[in-house]
Structure 1
Amino acid sequence: MWQVNLSTSSCHNVTSDPPSSYVFISVYSFIFIMGLILNVKALVVFFRQTKTRSHTTVYMINLAIADLLLVLTLPVRVSYLLGYTRLPQRLCDWLGLTLLVNMYSSIFLLTCICFDRCVAVTFPMSHRVKEGRKKAPLVCLAVWVITFGSSLPIFLLKSKVVQESHCFRNQPVYATWPVVLFTTLSFGFGIPLVLMLICSWGLVRAVLNSTVAQTNLVDSGKIQRMVATSLLIFFLSFLPYHVTLSLFYVYREDVPCSLLAAYRYSLMVACLNTILDPIAYYFTTETFKRNVDMEALRKMFPLNSQSSLEAEKRARNRAVCENENKGQAS
């Protein structure tokens, strides 16, 4: 077990520099206010949809809860930046744990939402898929158990290794140990990213190859923009943070102060995801509720195209018969 060779006292503290301090205070305050409003509003909307709540909504509810818990840690961070530095190190550690648990919960839940949309559109008639989607609450429970259970031992060990108490100015020692870093980059970010790319490609491909994509029932361009927006938000929110973690391992013997500053900025950018998530799933929900209803999904696949044509013929014949009966009656 080793730790990063960097003393926070040897570096100019980026969060105490007046221009940078104003940036951190302003952005974190903005994230707290907007994240609180948007995620509370999202939860109110989702919990009101008791009759029409879908399996994807279960993931969105948990995502809103994760984002809400994350933003609730930010007021203490802002107060620290404003000069109230007499905070117990244990409190700082638990707030840091809460932030990271909810960050990775958001990553996993966003991946679950992307996967759920993909299988729902690609295999709408599959009984196995329908039964699997009903397990969304269990999947969410597993996400919370995995993220909290894997993070808690690291923080308990960190409190024994890190002797200096600098609260939110500590370097991410716990996240740069080789085993932890590999697990974080692969299972915490790499695998979810690959799954999101594959599911997004599968979703777009299913929509473009459907017969209904050539009609006005589904705006395929809008769905493609939705998928691209979701991926862009994922990249912008979480890629900088994980790149800086990788660089901590590269420079583990002599970490430059600029890297520590980049880490703090990347963490702040990752917190912006709590604002972007509600915007993304509001857009997603509207797109799929208005343009991709269950009848449209059934028409999207060649297996159902023949039955759709037959139904149209029957409706046409029925209309002709009704007209003939009216003519005879008159």
Structure 2
Amino acid sequence: MSSPTNMTCPNVTFQNPEQAVFIGVYSVVFIFGLTLNLTALVVFFRNSKSRSHIIVYMIHLAFADILLVCTLPVRIYFHSRLGDPHPIICEISGLIMLSNMYSSIFLLTCISFDRCIAVCFPLSSRVREGRKKAWCVCLGIWILTIATSLPIYIKKKQANMNKSNTENFICFGGFPFYATETAPLVSTLIIGFGIPLIVMILSSWGLIRAISKSTAVQTSDLVDSAKIKRMIITNLAIFLFCFLPYHIMLLILSYKPSCSVLTAYRYSLMVACLNAMLDPVAYYFTTETFRREMEFEAVCKIRQMNSHSSDGNNRSRAPLTT
């Protein structure tokens, strides 16, 4: 196994074909990601009167994605080889990217979980009260991601100050030393990705199971259960497509540091950035679909309760059983 401290990869990312790929993808993500997320924020704030708890998560998700895409011009400039950005600009933009990438992961997890409990337990007062704490959860996510990202910046600053010269500094071409250390790596793979992935999978399974067992949905022509299931699976697939390769390559890079693996790691980071462009599209349509579906379920539930109360039966049957 080669040592990362002694590993040098000349021209590993500076070949013309690779330059074009990075520049093209980052440019597309920046333009569409910024436009779509700003549009989403405008829509959310214009409909503030009807804002639901899940919209709170989506507003914060849009902010996180906007902050992420705003770091991409620095990477586009770097790969264009027009000049090397200042080391501080490189470090801060890298810090913002990673911090908001994990903010997006946690917020996407919260959105999935919130939908699951809202559909599976539509009449639970405890669930309703818990969902009202959405803004507290978002605040906790921002504090967590910022607090865990700052050590990366501090570590890099200390490393640069200890170097006798900084002539070999490469903005985004260096080895991610801190991220591949044992403690940060384990916490990243478990807390930053593993637990959110498990929650996403269980929430998706719970939603599909609840919809499949809902008599109101299955017997109604107003709600397309197959479409809802496809959207749930699509959202989970986007999550896996964007974030799974990055964390796999991070793990491989920590155990087998090489120039080829380092290049694959950079490509996986580029793929992870695609999420900022895909989020507003995927979650806008699913939010609209779930809103209509839950409104329909609420009407059916009220009718069922009125019917039972008129017959003297106080039993309550939820339309979505778990």
Query: What TM-score results when the alignment is normalised by the length of structure 2?
Result: 0.89
Shift in alpha-carbon separation, 1:212–1:4, aligned structure 2, 3 A: same
Amino acid at match of 1:171: F
In the other structure, the counterpart of 1:206 is 210
Contact kept, 8 Å, 2:29 with 2:276, in 1: the verdict is: yes
Q: What is the SS of the residue equivalent to 1:283?
A: helix
**1:193 aligned to which of 176, 183, 197:** 197
Amino acid at match of 2:213: N
Shift in alpha-carbon separation, 1:310–1:27, aligned structure 2, 3 A: same
Tell me if 1:4 matches 2:8. Answer: no
Shift in alpha-carbon separation, 1:31–1:306, aligned structure 2, 3 A: closer
Tell me if 1:176 matches 2:174. Answer: no
Shift in alpha-carbon separation, 1:159–1:108, aligned structure 2, 3 A: same
**1:230 aligned to which of 204, 229, 235:** 235
- CA shift, 1:203, in A, is 1.1
In the other structure, the counterpart of 2:100 is 102
In the other structure, the counterpart of 2:286 is 284
Tell me which stretches of 4 or more aligned residues in structure 1 moved more than 6 Å: none
Percentage of identical aligned residues: 53
Shift in alpha-carbon separation, 1:12–1:248, aligned structure 2, 3 A: same
Amino acid at match of 2:234: T
- CA shift, 1:53, in A, is 0.4
Shift in alpha-carbon separation, 1:171–1:40, aligned structure 2, 3 A: same
- CA shift, 1:292, in A, is 2.8
Distance 2:194 2:6 in 1: 27
In the other structure, the counterpart of 1:250 is 255
Distance 1:109 1:298 in 2: 29
Distance 2:305 2:45 in 1: 37
In the other structure, the counterpart of 2:320 is none
Q: What is the SS of the residue equivalent to 1:204?
A: helix
Amino acid at match of 1:67: D
**2:245 aligned to which of 237, 240, 257:** 240
Tell me if 1:221 matches 2:236. Answer: no
In the other structure, the counterpart of 2:34 is 36
Contact kept, 8 Å, 2:116 with 2:203, in 1: the verdict is: yes
- CA shift, 1:280, in A, is 1.0
**1:153 aligned to which of 127, 130, 151:** 151
Contact kept, 8 Å, 2:84 with 2:171, in 1: the verdict is: no
Query: What TM-score results when the alignment is normalised by the length of structure 1?
Result: 0.87
- CA shift, 1:306, in A, is 4.6
- CA shift, 1:158, in A, is 2.5
- CA shift, 1:201, in A, is 0.8
Q: What is the SS of the residue equivalent to 1:184?
A: helix
Q: Over residues 264-304 of structure 1, what are the superposed CA-to-partner deviations in whole Å (9 max), with x where a residue is unaligned?
A: 100100000011101111111121123331x414637xxx7
Number of equivalent positions? 303
In the other structure, the counterpart of 2:73 is 75
Amino acid at match of 2:230: R
Tell me if 1:296 matches 2:276. Answer: no
Amino acid at match of 1:296: E
Amino acid at match of 1:5: T
Q: Over residues 223-272 of structure 1, what are the superposed CA-to-partner deviations in whole Å (9 max), with x where a residue is unaligned?
A: 11011001000000000000011001221xxx221101101100100000
Q: What is the SS of the residue equivalent to 1:168?
A: coil
**2:120 aligned to which of 110, 119, 122:** 122
Distance 2:5 2:134 in 1: 43
Shift in alpha-carbon separation, 1:115–1:6, aligned structure 2, 3 A: farther
Q: How does 1:15-30 map to 2 (within 5 A)?
A: 15-30=13-28
- CA shift, 1:210, in A, is 1.2
Q: What is the SS of the residue equivalent to 1:86?
A: coil
CA RMSD of aligned residues (A): 2.0
Contact kept, 8 Å, 2:58 with 2:111, in 1: the verdict is: yes
Shift in alpha-carbon separation, 1:238–1:207, aligned structure 2, 3 A: same
Contact kept, 8 Å, 1:67 with 1:274, in 2: the verdict is: yes
